[in-house]
Structure 1
């Protein structure tokens, strides 16, 4: 019976990714609740932390570097990014005209 060593080891990569995600989340929470910085600076820091966390999750949990079919994965990521942008811009557009 052939065994795959990849599935028998402890998932250190996932644990490290989870801990780093928690650190980034708590850093954003601290910036908002306790930093006392200007609102525009807080928003900028939150955006940077969000981009860091999104890229961390792409590489740690979504296995961006582990695929043999890089072209298909790139197309899927571009499509997902497009959908996210449409949702965000559409939501802002709707809220702009409702208020």
Structure 2
């Protein structure tokens, strides 16, 4: 028995990319990977700008993969996926930033290791 999909006409194909789109995404990903490797190994970028260049190439590759492979975008049928992704990313960023803030404050407000026990008792 065959089951019919309950998608509107053409909606099932709209979410999937074409072969050309996948090839373009793959080529861009490979080029960005080689650019990152070249920036580090061939000293194309000055040392003080190395980290910024790697981060910029990393963000560019992330965007390429989101658009070409996960099909995120402003298209009408992808807005819900994009909104869910953005909300998830913001929640993760808030959790990570909050955890780092708590750990930093705990580290700052704890007794320093350089302080002797006698000096710590004098502060009480």
Q: Write the distance in 2 (CA, Å) between the matches of 1:69 and 1:61.
A: 13
CA 89–43 in structure 1, closer or farther in 2 if over 3 Å, else same: farther
Query: 5+ unaligned residues in a row in structure 2: which ranges?
Result: 1-9, 108-124
Offset of 1:19 from its aligned partner?
Answer: 1.1
Which residue pairs with 2:42 in the alignment? 34
Matched, 1:16 2:32: no
Which residue pairs with 2:77 in the alignment? 68
More helix by share: 1
RMSD value over aligned CA atoms?
A: 3.0
Query: 5+ unaligned residues in a row in structure 1: which ranges?
Result: none
Q: Write the distance in 1 (CA, Å) between the matches of 2:98 and 2:47.
A: 24
Count how many residue pairs are aligned between Structure 1 and Structure 2.
88
Instruction: Tell which structure's C-alpha radius of gyration is larger.
Output: 2
TM-score by length of 2: 0.55
TM-score by length of 1: 0.66
User: 1:40-79 alignment to 2 at 5 Å?
Assistant: 40-65=48-73, 68=77, 70=79, 72-79=80-87
Which residue pairs with 2:5 in the alignment? none
Q: Is the 8 Å Cα contact of residues 25 and 68 (structure 2) preserved in structure 1?
A: yes
